[in-house]
Amino acid sequence: MSTSEGLNLSIPGSQSSPSIRADWDAGVVVMSGESYPENSFELYDQLIQWIDSYLSNVEQSLTLELHLNYLNTSSIRFMIDIFDMLQTAHADGKEVLVQWMYDDRNPRSAELGAEFKEDYTFPFLILSINA
Amino acid sequence: MTITSTSLMSLRDFFSDHKILICFNGPISTNLIGEIGSAIKEHIESNHAPDLEVMDVFSVYIEMSQNIKNYASTKGFNDTESSATVVIAAADPGHYAVCACNLVEMEHGKALVERIRTLADCDKAQLKALYKEQLRRPRSELQGSGAGLGLIEIARRSSQPMEASLEPVDTGRAFFSLRAII
């Protein structure tokens, strides 16, 4: 068993909250589902702390793979906090990447990804899962 | 007044006349918001509506009902006070109405109506700019203002300006009603 396994994050998804898997060794965070939880702070705070800890302790790259069909405005605000952290890390010379995956049947998800991307200069890919 | 089978029929007629698809009246809970949300999606999808419409109606519904839920929690409202009316109805072909009504303090209600009037004058580009500005506002400035981002999101998904009204009740409170057409 790897010693860093305890540093991984695994939060199961539900109807109103996305599943979150964060792998410390791989430097990958995967989020899938819809996000409109009653308490968005509770959900996103864990992830924000994980990313903060990863970025301050690990030299290697961080990739966020996001399969988010829908986010309510309070979840969007937390995603902004996360992207701001990536932007700072990018400015410090760290390698960060966001892969925003959307389904062609849900054009609003592609638009949301594009609106996020507008405000950042780190690599932010918007990719159709149907391609 | 106890409900009779005749009054049930007139309720049914009212629903049919206003093309109401889903309606809820009572204390709003997180579980209920989720369940009604799923019902809305299924219902509109079954009408072969484009996914764009489904997601827009869903988004407006979520923002509206979570605003109400958050307001009632912040105010420490009891079950009676946090009772809300939420209605999803068919509008012109390809359009839907999402409406909600809840109890608010008169001063908050007036501020909301004023805010909605301001948003009504904005075009889509202005709404987007407002939205981004609100997203970037420090959390410390957001305390107590509530509803901010949610209302802009509703305005962005709407095909015409939102309509709001305030019906005063006793004790300096009012019923605030909001209608969005998607």
- Residue B63, chain A, CB below 8 Å: the answer is yes
Whether the CB-CB separation of B98 and B88 falls below 8 Å is answered with yes
Asked if residue B14 belongs to a domain, the reply is: no
* 109-168 of B, contacting A, C-beta below 8 A: 128, 132, 135-136, 149-150, 153
Instruction: Tell me the CATH number at B152.
Output: 3.30.565.10
Mean pLDDT, to the nearest integer, of A49-58? 96
Mean pLDDT, to the nearest integer, of A121-125? 98
- Residue B51, chain A, CB below 8 Å: the answer is yes
Whether the CB-CB separation of B162 and B120 falls below 8 Å is answered with yes
- Residue A130, chain B, CB below 8 Å: the answer is no
Asked if residue B105 belongs to a domain, the reply is: yes
Asked if residue B117 belongs to a domain, the reply is: yes
- Distance, in Å, from the CA atom of A69 to the CA atom of A91, rounded to the nearest integer, reads 29
Mean pLDDT, to the nearest integer, of A47-55? 97
- Residue A45, chain B, CB below 8 Å: the answer is no
pLDDT at A3: 58
Q: Give chain A's mean pLDDT.
A: 94
Mean pLDDT, to the nearest integer, of B145-158? 85
Q: Which residues of B touch A70 (CB under 8 A)?
A: 55, 58-59
Q: How many CB atoms lie within 10 A of CB B146?
A: 16
Reference A40, options A7, A68, A63; nearest CA is A68
- Those residues with Cβ within 8 angstroms of residue A87's Cβ, 6 or more apart along the chain or in another chain: A120, A121, A122
Residue of A15, A38, A87, A105 to mutate, testing the B interface (most B Cβ within 10 Å of its Cβ)? A38
Asked if residue B6 belongs to a domain, the reply is: no
Asked if residue B99 belongs to a domain, the reply is: yes
Whether the CB-CB separation of A62 and A86 falls below 8 Å is answered with yes
Q: Which residues of A touch B38 (CB under 8 A)?
A: 15
pLDDT at A52: 97
Nearest CA in chain B to A119: B132
Mean pLDDT, to the nearest integer, of B115-137? 93
Which alpha helices (DSSP H) does chain A contain, by range?
40-57, 73-91, 107-117
Asked if residue B135 belongs to a domain, the reply is: yes
3-state secondary structure of A130: coil
Confidence of residue B137 (pLDDT cuts 50, 70, 90): confident
More confident: B69 or A38: B69
Is residue B145's pLDDT more than 50?
no
Mean pLDDT, to the nearest integer, of A2-14? 83
Nearest CA in chain B to A110: B52
Mean pLDDT, to the nearest integer, of B12-27? 94
Q: To the nearest whole percent, how much of chain A has pLDDT over 70?
A: 96
Is residue B40's pLDDT more than 70?
yes
Mean pLDDT, to the nearest integer, of A22-28? 97
* Domain enclosing residue B159, as ranges: 19-181
Confidence of residue B147 (pLDDT cuts 50, 70, 90): low
User: Which among A15, A73, A119 has the least Cβ separation from residue B38?
Assistant: A15
Q: What is the CA radius of gyration of chain A?
A: 14
Do residue B63 and residue A72 have CB atoms under 8 angstroms apart? yes
Q: Give chain B's mean pLDDT.
A: 91
> Predicted ipTM?
0.90
Confidence of residue B146 (pLDDT cuts 50, 70, 90): low
User: Which among B66, B135, B136 has the least Cβ separation from residue A72?
Assistant: B66
Q: How far is B51 from chain A (nearest CA, A)?
A: 6
Mean pLDDT, to the nearest integer, of B24-44? 90
Is residue B30's pLDDT more than 90?
no
- Distance, in Å, from the CA atom of B36 to the CA atom of B58, rounded to the nearest integer, reads 10
Q: To the nearest whole percent, how much of chain B has pLDDT over 70?
A: 96
3-state secondary structure of A32: strand
Q: How far is B177 from chain A (nearest CA, A)?
A: 21
Mean pLDDT, to the nearest integer, of B7-22? 94
Mean pLDDT, to the nearest integer, of B159-179? 95
Please count the structural domains in chain B.
1
Do residue B59 and residue A70 have CB atoms under 8 angstroms apart? yes
- pLDDT digits 0-9 by tens, B89-104: 999 988 999 999 999 9
Asked if residue B10 belongs to a domain, the reply is: no
Confidence of residue A1 (pLDDT cuts 50, 70, 90): very low
Asked if residue B152 belongs to a domain, the reply is: yes
Nearest CA in chain A to B150: A73
Mean pLDDT, to the nearest integer, of B63-90? 93
pLDDT at B136: 87
